[in-house]
Structure 1
Amino acid sequence: MPESELKAAYKQLEDAITEVARLEGSTGVLTEWLVLAAVQRYDEDGDGVTQIAMLLPDGGGQVPHHRIMGLLDFQQARMRAEVADDGGES
């Protein structure tokens, strides 16, 4: 994929994240984001393969690992608290 297309796609993704956050009630300026995605495919032997993708602003080169890990850890802690409050029911 040409670099210009990839850059444009990341810009569209960030714009979409900003818009969804706004619609969900967030106010202010988007400062950090990451997207996790699971993709299922089948290899040449017919075996299922799951790939996990992590998308970061501009391909991730400018986001320090401690910032990414902080976002993930914080959200995991919030989710665990929600599960504990629900008695473990989903």
Structure 2
Amino acid sequence: MAERNPTARAAYERLEAALHAVLEVEEFEGLPTEWVIVVACQRIDDEGRGVTQIGTLLPDGDSLPYHRLMGLLDFALTRCRAEISEE
């Protein structure tokens, strides 16, 4: 685990527990070996303009090698495009 303060460590532990709970409800089989959560946050800046921040959350707040992270994201995007094209 990356060097984190106790509050951040506890938050990432809760995030992983929530992920496991959702996987169980969705009837995933096996053990999640890698995961990434993509988050988009929107806000209004001091000049009244909309700002979008996009980030990723990784296990323990740490990192995955880029080739693995990009592979996960690319595969998910490919599946999403395939589903859209079937509609």
TM-score by length of 1: 0.87
Identity %: 48
Structure-1 separation of matches of 2:62 and 2:56: 9
Structure-2 separation of matches of 1:84 and 1:8: 41
The structural deviation recorded for 1:41 is 0.6
Provide the aligned C-alpha RMSD in A.
1.2
Structure-1 separation of matches of 2:34 and 2:60: 11
Unaligned runs of 5+ in 2: none
SS of 1:9's equivalent in the other structure is helix
SS of 2:22's equivalent in the other structure is helix
Equivalent in the alignment of 1:84: 85
Aligned length: 84
Unaligned runs of 5+ in 1: none
TM-score by length of 2: 0.89
Query: Which one has more relative contact order, counting CA pairs under 8 Å at least 6 apart?
Result: 2
Equivalent in the alignment of 1:37: 39
Deviations 1:21-57 (A, max 9, x none): 1100102111111111111111111111111121111
